[in-house]
Amino acid sequence: MVETIISYKPEYKLNAAGRRLLFKVDANSEFVRDADGELVEDPNGRAYRNWRPEIESPQDIWDELARVGSKLPGMTSAPMLQPISTRIVMLSSGISAPIAVRLRGPNLEALGDAALKVQEFLREHPMVNSQAVNADRPVGKPYIEIHPDRAKLARYGVTMASFQDTVDMAIGGRTITQSVEGRERFSVRVRYPREMRDIPESMERVFVTATDGVQIPIGDLARIEYVRGPEMIRSEDTYLVSYVMFDGQGDAGEVDVVQSVRASMEAAIASGELELAEGVSFSFAGSYESSVETEKRLMFLIPIVLLSIFMLTYMQFRSVMTGMMIFSGIFVAFSGGFILLWLYGQPWFLDFSVFGMNMRDVFQIVPVKLSIAVWVGFIALFGIANDDGVVIATYLQQRFQDAGPMSVEAIRERVVEAGERRIRPCLMTSATTILALLPVLTSYGAGADVMIPMALPAVGGMTVAMITLFVVPVLYSAMEEVKLRLR
């Protein structure tokens, strides 16, 4: 396996502070260069784009590298991971890919055959990136094996210890001393020149000393041959294990990809399309496992959060109906968060420029997967989505607390008055939340891929949650009118 770390240039030329540099352009909108061929800075100029026109995002860079790399003989692509992410995935699952099929079997040959079959099957799956499918080869590494013939050793009077010492030192090499140069240490190894140990035919001419001092070539004492052996032997729970690593296609989530692949593999095995050797079983591994565990926790945590918010609202107003009115703002905000996530996947959203800067580039608008970070953002949204409703409902409760007998016209008049007097605090509450998250939406670099999906639900939810400025007063008015009719 070859691990390649790709450090790409930023999309535009930046200064030390990370701001875009502007360069002088001529009448034909071409960049002006000095005598040394360097760009000329100009505060009234235009930003210089490092990337080619067809490259619009880091994902496009990866796709281009994968396309070119797939043409190299013997090379295959792999899922794209950041160096730290790779280490985390390796520590948690033992593989350098977000998703993999884990194969367990009785022997390495059966695992190798099953891995190749699963690899071909995954490359044809519509939700799998065919360029990122890579199967382990449990067997296939070339080894040189030297098999001594004990009968011949005894005939020539060569002891097994003498034979093994010669092979160890002459072919393998042995450290005899260490050279010390300052703080550096260099081991000194002794062995035959490379031309006498690089191929079996050369090794056969290495001499072994017999007990009577006669030099016997190894070719007369042993059999030297190439064999195919294991590259790496993995085991889990006493089973031999092999992996077929892959990645999802496009914006498909890891959980959705795994569920689709599992269903397809089970159906293919049942129909006989995919045949695995006896004793070989499969499961899935990778960061997908942590995603599944986190989803289980969120399925328990989200209802607890919603129930806690409702109970706190009820304890404030001592009314189930008022609590339900305010709680409706959470559902409105929930829909607003999904609307903004949908807009981030549309090519026309914010596709305009301000002062020469495209808003899609400023806000880094790309399709966002429904990841764990997004659900954490929704949990944060739930905690602040009912603020506007609480502000309005508190004032309404105060206005109606000592109102006495009223008519429908008086109820509506007081509701309109409360709505007008509390619209400014509600707008300030929503505006401060949205403005505080704008720097997160425009951030880039390490951590931005997690923080932006986390902030999107809050921004979209609080933007749409301002509808509660009208919903809560209308519902409160309806509740008071029903109470008036029931008196």
**Which tens digits make up the pLDDT trace of 18-41?**
788 889 888 888 888 888 888 888
- pLDDT over 80 (residue 210): yes
pLDDT at 221: 92
Exposure string for 31-62, b = 16+ CB within 10 A, e = fewer: eeeeeeeebeeeeebebeeebeeebeeeeebb
DSSP string, 250-307: TT--HHHHHHHHHHHHHHHHHHTSS---TT-EEEEEEHHHHHHHHHHHHHHHHHHHHH
And the tokens for 266? Answer: 């089970």
Q: How far apart are CA 268 and CA 142, in angstroms?
A: 33
The length of the chain, given as a count of residues: 487
Provide the pLDDT confidence category of residue 177 given band limits of 50, 70 and 90: very high
Provide the pLDDT confidence category of residue 456 given band limits of 50, 70 and 90: very high
Run of H or E residues at 95 = none
Return all residues near 403 (Cβ < 8 A) that are at least 6 apart: 410, 414
- pLDDT over 60 (residue 1): no
- Per-residue model confidence as pLDDT tens digits over 336-374: 999 999 999 888 888 888 877 788 888 888 888 878 889
- Per-residue model confidence as pLDDT tens digits over 400-430: 876 665 788 888 888 888 888 888 888 888 8
- pLDDT over 90 (residue 222): yes
pLDDT at 340: 93
- Comparing 133-142, 325-334, 439-448, 458-467, the range with the smallest average pLDDT is 439-448
